[in-house]
Structure 1
């Protein structure tokens, strides 16, 4: 495990998958991250690459070849990712394509995830370099899980998400049997920017949004006010998720999405897929900002 801190926050990143696992206030020792209880959900904040969500039958096709990838790709839990650079306020990790990965993902690449701590804010930057001689196709995103409730004498229902703008976006429903995006949608907002949190909210799996106007969402407590905000200007999709019995909420900025039920499984035409020409570099960042009121 690697850690950095300043006078307000300490963050820690675990070796496997370079997964952010702690955001702790220096003064009060409050941890804002989920504790990865293995009886409920044993992750903290997986890094998602080169796909997001599930593939149909866990497979995709590229250039007339069929490949198999697990849900959310191969960065999460990956023990080959290594510390690339550490400074007083940043941790950077690197995963390089290898023979084993080329058998399931036929592109030579370098994947970097960098955590930078500045005052009360953590910036999470993804950098992807195409080291191949052909165009690379990929998705990338985050999956951070935040404690909810954070403080004692609070309930899950005391919490809600406040979006930057009033929204009318509908959630895209997931087929619970195969994890794929169905053709069905469901209303969530009524020209409102408030999403109350209840455990029942996630009975139909994640809330997946493709067309939110907001690029910032704040986790708020009816008793304690603002808890933290996630800003995701570089990301087009957003997932909101928790296990129905989990005292946490995931706020997930995505560039990409799970396969649709009617997919032809062609990676080049996959919904939300990104293209990166040979030799080029792609970057995308989101931030987590802890409310100052809980740090003083």
Structure 2
């Protein structure tokens, strides 16, 4: 099932399964900005990542003497138990709550909520995590939205670039063949705020940034005026990824990161995990802004 909301500028569509944003459309021009999830290339639009980001070493974590097979990217993605919780003229809220099934793979009594709000030219994505348990809860969360690239028929992938709000000097952390974060880095920025796109840059998987100065990044073209900007001040990590044969780019704000190759698989020492006290809640948001 899909749900839609619109204002005078944008219409968005959310799949109830996985609470996945699957379409951003300009009301005035009819232009689509999201990747179409072509199953021959990559069959997702914008997976919701919770309570882990990316790959888990050997497919499981250890927590207080037990092993838990938390899936790659967590338990919200493609989950049909996610349900629409509230709808207004300008927002859609989806929720997933712990169950006997989830406790087998993730040992916390959580409630996860994600709200998509339209505000002028922006889609604001609000996340809320509630700890219903009696112990401290460990988690991370993030977004994985894929944007069409190129957006126009007379453009190529190489016409596009990412423009960061600040001059950057960060490196990407190289991933192993299993999607784990290795110990080696590769320089990406050299005192610049732009990153020109080409398919070859993703031959070794995603670019993973831990130390960006910027809190926003824009997808721009050298040949046309439309701009997609991601504002992510609540998110310390950023991933940039695409399939080498896919005309899209994922710009991914993260509150965590994939397991490191040298991880001891102890969930309590995993990099990027947040800790939430019993009975407390946590909120974080990012925004997608469309300019034409």
What TM-score do the two structures reach when normalised by structure 2? 0.99
The number of residue pairs the alignment matches comes to: 291
Secondary structure, aligned partner of 2:18: helix
CA deviation map 1:55-83 (0-9, x unaligned): 00110000011110111011000000000
> For structure 2, which runs of at least 5 residues remain unmatched after alignment?
none
SS of aligned partner of 1:166: strand
- What secondary structure is seen at the aligned counterpart in 1 of 2:272? coil
Partner of 1:269: 269
What's the CA shift for 1:225?
3.2
CA RMSD of aligned residues (A): 0.6
1:7: how far off? 1.0
Residue in 1 that maps onto 2:85: 84
Pairing of 1:1-296 with structure 2 (within 5 A): 1-176=2-177, 178-291=178-291, 294=292
Asked whether the equivalents of residues 219 and 228 of structure 1 are also in contact (C-alpha less than 8 Å), the reply is yes
Q: Which runs of 5+ in 1 are unaligned?
A: none
Take 2:226 and 2:92, find their aligned partners in 1: how far apart are those partners? 27
Whole-Å separation in 2 of the counterparts to 1:128 and 1:17: 16
The Cα of 1:227 is off from its aligned counterpart by 1.5
Report deviation, 1:226. Answer: 4.4
TM-score after normalising by structure 1: 0.98
1:182 to partner: Cα distance = 0.5
Q: Deviations over 1:89-129 (max 9, x none)?
A: 00000000000000111100110000000111000000000
| In structure 2, distance between residues paired with 1:22 and 1:205 | 25
Provide the rounded CA distance (Å) in 2 between the counterparts of 1:8 and 1:263.
46
Q: Distance in 2 between matches of 1:254 and 1:225?
A: 28
Query: Which whole-Å CA distance do the structure 2 matches of 1:271 and 1:82 have between them?
Result: 30
Runs of 4+ aligned residues of structure 1 deviating over 3 Å after TM superposition are: none
The 8 Å contact of residues 16 and 94 in structure 2, kept in 1 or not, is answered as no
